[in-house]
Chain A
Amino acid sequence: MNIETIDVNDSIGIVSEVLCGHDKRKGVLVSTLHKIQADNGYLPEDVLRALSKKLAISLAEIYSVASFYKQFHFSPRGKKIVRVCKGTACHVRGAAKVETALIDRFHIKAGETTPDLKLTLETVGCVGCCGLAPVVTINEDVMGTIGPKKIKHLINVIEEEGVAHGEN
């Protein structure tokens, strides 16, 4: 995404008619950060610097906002992002076991990325699929009711697809 082409009025929508310039520029910040992250997988510093110039918001302020929200990341992430849900329902039905199994297999802790950038392991508060607890999401796909058998399947899915990506 090209920072220079951002149209503040367009991306904030129709409310722009009642807002002053600074409010408008600030108002698009979070959604723009989402877009940058969707393009790059994380928030690279040079892009944020360009954004700071474009929106006339200080870099410190941008970092202050971006670091507050958990969804924004400042370092490159794996191709597969596996999130283990640790919501109440999943907790009660054994999410910790799922997490341990993944940690044992891939040797990374929650929040870390494997050195070959294949996999990022994360935990998440609740993905809203409590009926299927325990739940894991792989990128956008949800995988539910993970028992001992399904854990193996899950690990296979993560590994296989990882290889498939390597071939591409």
Chain B
Amino acid sequence: MEKIKNIEEFNNLSLLLKEEVFREDVPRIRMCCGTACTASGAHKVVADLEHALGAEHKSVEIVKTGCQGFCQQGPIMKVEPWGYYYQKVKNTDAHEIVSSTISGGFPIRKLLYRDSIAEEPCEMVDTVPYYKKQVRVALKNNGLIDPLQIRHYIAVGGYAALAKALSSMTPDEVLEEVDKANLRGRGGAGFPAGQKWRHSKKAPGKIKFVIANGDEGDPGAFMDRSIMEGDPHGLLEGMLLCAYAIGAQYGFVYVRHEYPLAVVNLKHAIKQAEEIGLLGKNIMGTDFTCHMDVREGAGAFVCGESTALVASIEGDRGFPRPRPPRLSEPGGGVWGFPSNLNNIETYACVPPIIENGAAWFKSIGTENSPGTKVFALTGKVKNTGLVEVPMGITLREIIYDIGGGILDGKKFKAVQTGGPSGGCLPEEFLDLKVDFDSLTKAGSMMGSGGMVVMDEDTCAVDVAKFFLSFTKEESCGKCPPCRIGTYQMLEILERITTGKGVPSDIERLEKISRLVKKGSLCGLGQGAPNPILSTLKYFRQEYEEHVHDKYCRAKVCSGLGTFTIDHSECFLCGLCKQACAFGAVKETRRSFFIDQDMCTKCKGCFTACPIGAVKIGKGKRLSGVGR
């Protein structure tokens, strides 16, 4: 394609591509080729489909889209114009797809989604419960376009917001619109993006930077990845609008090194946009100039913190530093230039706001947190994957209506939101309306949007230990409260979960938590005790059981409890005896029993028993301990 010389040329191109690309009379297969679906074999399906289509169905288009969200059921595809939604497609299904759907227009029953065998399958995407309640703003193009083709992005209305801003809006108006929309930072804290932009705009200096934070290190969150991989142009357009509003000339996307596909797609998108004059010098023939580049991290969670991220771009160790100066102030940003840092998802929300106006954006979500939020729904729910829902939706709707409830019909125990800096919310919060403020009030946080569901088989203390071992590993070591505090807290949790806890441990844990929260330099340390504090708040009883009764009710922690064999259930298969490495399971003529003196509480027999006849009861208090 040729370079675009003015706005009018772009509008013409946009109209042309809208007609040319995605024509309605052409059958089309939109195949998800996101990371998860690729892992389940999407590319094999594409190859076999191409083969099966052959010469006969040459006109059929196969669009390799970014992540469509329903990762668990992958590989997934949509077949248009009928709109059939197929899941768990295998490469062996390719022939059937061509012969019945493409040629005949019939759906293939076995590939359709159904909640259970008893229910009728859902033919269309909109009828699948997982998608029913979702509203897509940031992810609107994921699943629609091929991320490697700028033509596709323009055809679905891409870069129109930029054209609108450049042709009819001043930078101040763009900023005003974002401010009016009350777009809050999607990275965690929820700081209003408009205010942040205004700070950066006000900062003296001719040279400014926009930076997109794609260092998505939270375990259990992958929405930024999906945007960078599936809709890189959407991110670039959002960044360009920000650059236009604040007067920046350079932009960086900081991507963590664990996302190689995101780096490739972004670099490709930047090259394409530069080629046709939507990026670089004199964008669309106007005076607006902005250059973008990708910077890779190298595996450090703390680099998601703003000052650490800047240090990392500059080529230093990714240490955070005290603020002020903030990034938006001179001397604070990259190489001292004022910089505006936002999350990937925040930038992805900007083009729709400019295109449809602040009022439209405010009509979605709640008053204080308008718009949508992408959550990565994972853990012990039936349907896992990415969901984008309007703010103000209840946790119950997300977990039960969209997520399909708890796996294997178990009981819900808690939901962990906000990653390692967030907290666990118990059952009584299921009807909580989710937005930035409500979650913070409940003792958790929005974070980047990870949502890990836990059932009754998950131990609250073990979960806290898990998050702490993560933050302890990732602590950069600059400030002592975080470096030493996380280590000490982990040590105490380690003690509690192995049955060596002493009664003063819980109080000590609380005390250190408060100190670390108060004394740490950056968000990583300040947030590190949150998983402990929230589990202590809502699941204190479990901590006490671990310490006093030496008992883990979820039966996760080993080294706790008293092991017995229930003789009324036992059918004498002898597997427990084989499983015991310590010879603690003894056999008499008619029964098995466990010798408490030999038992090391390794849970070998418990896991080996096929019918659950090995019981773990509250441990006996040993004399001299806990008195």
Contact = CB atoms under 8 A, between A and B. Distances in A.
Contacts of B315: 26-30, 65
Contact of A126 (B70, B218, B316, B384): B218
A135 B379 CA distance: 13
Contacts of B291: 13-15
Contact of A128 (B35, B296, B297, B458): B35
A72 B591 CA distance: 56
Nearest to B416: A88
B217 interface: yes
B393 to A, nearest CB: 20
Residue in B39, B217, B335, B416 with the greatest tally of chain A CB atoms within 10 Å? B39
A130 B376 contact: yes
Given A88-B452, A89-B452, 4 more contacts: A18-B337, A125-B258, A126-B218, A142-B35
5 contacts: A14-B291, A18-B207, A89-B379, A130-B71, A130-B220
A14 B378 contact: no
A88 B450 contact: yes
Contacts of B217: 125-126
A59 interface: no
Residue in A29, A64, A68 with the greatest tally of chain B CB atoms within 10 Å? A68
Interface string A31-74: 10110000000000000000000000000000011001111100
Interface in B53-108: 70-72, 74
A141 B39 contact: yes
A103 interface: no
**Which size bracket describes the interface of A in this complex?**
35 or more
Interface stretch (B2-10, B298-306, B517-525, B575-583): B298-306
A86 interface: yes
A92 B379 contact: yes
Contacts of B385: 131
B384 A130 contact: yes
A132 interface: yes
Contacts of B610: none
B40 interface: yes
B72 A86 contact: no
Contacts of A143: 39
Contacts of A142: 35-36, 38-39
Interface string B306-334: 00000011111110000000000000000
A101 interface: no
Contacts of B257: 34, 71
Contacts of A14: 250, 291, 293
Closest 6 CB pairs of A and B: A131-B71, A87-B219, A69-B298, A128-B222, A89-B378, A142-B39
Nearest to B209: A15
Given A69-B318, A92-B454, A142-B35, A126 B219 contact: yes
B36 A132 contact: yes
Contact of A132 (B71, B218, B300): B71
**Which size bracket describes the interface of B in this complex?**
35 or more
A141 B36 CA distance: 10
A130 B378 contact: yes
A98 interface: no
Contacts of B299: 69-71
A107 interface: no
Contact of A68 (B36, B40, B300): B300
Contact of B384 (A27, A64, A131): A131
Contacts of A128: 35, 216, 221-222, 225, 258-259
A27 B219 contact: no
Given A13-B291, A27-B315, A68-B317, A124 B258 contact: yes
Interface string A136-148: 0000111110000
A92 B406 CA distance: 13
A98 to B, nearest CB: 15
Contacts of A30: 295-298, 312, 315
Contacts of A129: 35-36, 39, 71, 222
A131 B296 contact: no
Contact of A140 (B260, B378, B466): B260
A7 to B, nearest CB: 15
A8 B73 CA distance: 46
Given A125-B219, A128-B216, A92 B36 contact: no
B355 interface: no
A121 to B, nearest CB: 16
Contacts of A72: 298
B474 interface: yes
